Every structure is written in C-alpha cells, then in structure tokens.
Amino acid sequence: MGKVWFVGAGPGDPELITVKGRDLIGRAGAILYAGSLVSEATMRWAPAGCEIADSKDMTLEAINTWLLQKARVHDTVVRLQTGDPTLYGALVEMVQPLDADGIGIEVVPGVSSAMAAAGSAVESLTLPEVTQTVILTRVEGRTPMPDGESLAELGTHHCTLCLFLSITLLSKVQSELLAAGWREDAPVLVVQKASWPNQEKIVRGTLTDIRDKCRDEKIKSQAMIIVSPVLGARRWPELKKSKLYAADFSHRFRRGTKPKRKA
C-alpha cells in the first residue's frame, strides 16, 4: 500500500505551494487535483509518467474510489487541494475511507486565501489594541450553520472576519453585520483570485456599497471577503505600536532600556 498525501496548493499562485508540497508532486505516482480552484501550472513539477486527474466534475464517492485505487498501485499519491486542506477541504470525508482500508495518510499545510487576500491588499488582520482576533467563517447558504455561529452572532465580537464561500451572499453579509452593530461605513475588502497571476481583483468599499462595487467588477466566485476594524490602518496617522519591538520591552533575546528621566 502506498500513502496518500493531502497537500495544500495555496491560494492560486503556483509558487505559493510549500517546498514540501512541491517535492511530493515531484515524486508522485498519481495526482488528483481540484482543477476548478488549483492552477494547472502546479502540475509542471510532476514527473514523467505520473497519472494526473482533475476532480472538478467528480463526486465525493468518485474521489474516494480514485484515491483508494491509486494507493494500491503507487507509493506516493497526492490529493492537491486549494488553500489549506484542513479548512473547507472535506478532509475528514476523504480520510475516513482510506483509514478503513488501512492506507496511510499525511497532510501538508497550505497558504489560505484569507492570508493571501490580506497580503495582496497589504493589510494586517490584527493590530495592537484594535483587534487581536480573527474569525474564519462563512455565511449560511445551502449549508446550514451550527447554533451560535450565524454571522450576526459572530459579528458582535467586532474583530476581523474572513468570510469564505460567501461572495454571492453579500446582501446577507450586509444585513447580518448591521444587525450585529457594525456601522454602515465599516470598511470591507474583497479579493477575487488572490495571488493568481493576471487574474486577481481587489475591491475596497463599505458595508453599504461593497455589493454594488463587486457587481460592477463582475465578481461572483472565488473571492475572499474581509471585514475588519483594522482595514486601511496603513494610512492611519497614528498607531498603537507592538510592545515586542519597543525599546523598553525586555524578552529572552533582548533587555529593554528604560527611558531616561528628565532632569
């Protein structure tokens, strides 16, 4: 029996895959990649003779069957997923049949689109004394949300919200966050295809106008929505600075220097 590796391909740019993930592709006997979300350019590292298949039109059952069959033939089988396999990746649903068949599995983390979107827009998801919390979630659509996890409830924390799989539900984002007490002019960032070469779109707006702006840009899929009190901090005239780098802050690598008292 071979081993199945669940590899995070990252947000889109093939070069954002980890070195470990790239090396696994380079020695794989078979690769099943999510072609609707993972760039086909990532396959350039696959060896000659590697069996490559696209899962975009497969059911979960077909995916599981493919992985089981290839693991009986090849030492290294790669399931290449968008972003990070542990986040909205149906990981457990694919692992259970492999466990039942005694096939070894391992997960290689990947860069999430939440981080890629913030990086593309040169935004921080946290800022001292503004917010130190990031919630990764989605808006309820066809998949119901568990009790206590509606956007209106999570939004009451007024921290950074990274909303996956929700770009077609922007009207619901607006209504639920307004119900949670967010202001109409609260800043919102939408990044479509973060890091994808020549395909990325960055849209900035407010809760009031972000839906119209995304409609104007024809953004209907593969977009990360970030709502946060720290958006735009790059242009703030004053910031609360991190204590870690303050001259008077001591830690195990540096002794802080107290400011001299004025005579």
Interval 77-99 mean pLDDT = 96
Instruction: Compute the distance between CA of residue 149 and CA of residue 157 in angstroms, rounded to an integer.
Output: 12
Structure-token match 């979107």, residue found: 117
pLDDT band at 262 (very low <50, low <70, confident <90, very high): low
Q: Write the CA distances from 19 to 26, 110, 156, 201, integer angstroms.
A: 10, 10, 39, 27
> What integer pLDDT is reported at residue 263 of this predicted model?
59
Neighbours of 179 (CB within 10 A): 14
Q: Is the pLDDT of residue 249 over 90?
A: no
The reported pLDDT for the residue numbered 257 is 80
Q: Under DSSP, is residue 66 helix (H, G, I), strand (E, B) or coil? A: helix
**pLDDT exceeds 80 at position 256:** no
State the average pLDDT over residues 72-96.
96
Q: Which fold has domain 3-108?
A: Cobalt-precorrin-4 Transmethylase; domain 1 (3.40.1010)
Mean pLDDT of 58-72: 97
Residue 204 has pLDDT above 70, yes or no: yes
Q: Which of these CATH numbers, 3.20.20.100, 3.30.950.10, 3.40.190.10, 2.40.50.140, describes 113-234?
A: 3.30.950.10
Domain definitions of the chain by residue range? 3-108, 113-234
The overall average pLDDT reported for the chain is 94
The model's pLDDT over 110-121, given as tens digits with 9 standing for 90+, comes to 999 999 999 999
> What's the chain's Rg over C-alpha atoms?
22
pLDDT tens-digit map of 100-159: 999 999 999 999 999 999 999 999 999 999 999 999 999 998 888 999 999 999 999 999
Residue 245: is its pLDDT beyond 80? Answer: no
pLDDT at residue 247 greater than cutoff 80: no
How do residues 181-197 score in pLDDT, each as one tens digit? 999 999 999 999 999 99
Alpha-helical (H) ranges within the chain are 19-27, 60-71, 91-100, 113-120, 151-154, 170-179, 210-216
pLDDT at 209 over 70: yes
d(CA 1, CA 179): 53
Q: What confidence category does residue 162 fall into, taking pLDDT thresholds of 50, 70 and 90?
A: very high
Count Cα atoms within 13 angstroms, Cβ side, for 46: 23
At 95, the pLDDT band (50, 70, 90 cuts) reads very high
Question: In this predicted model, which residue has the larger pLDDT, 12 or 250?
Answer: 12
User: Quick one: pLDDT at residue 109?
Assistant: 98
pTM of the model: 0.91
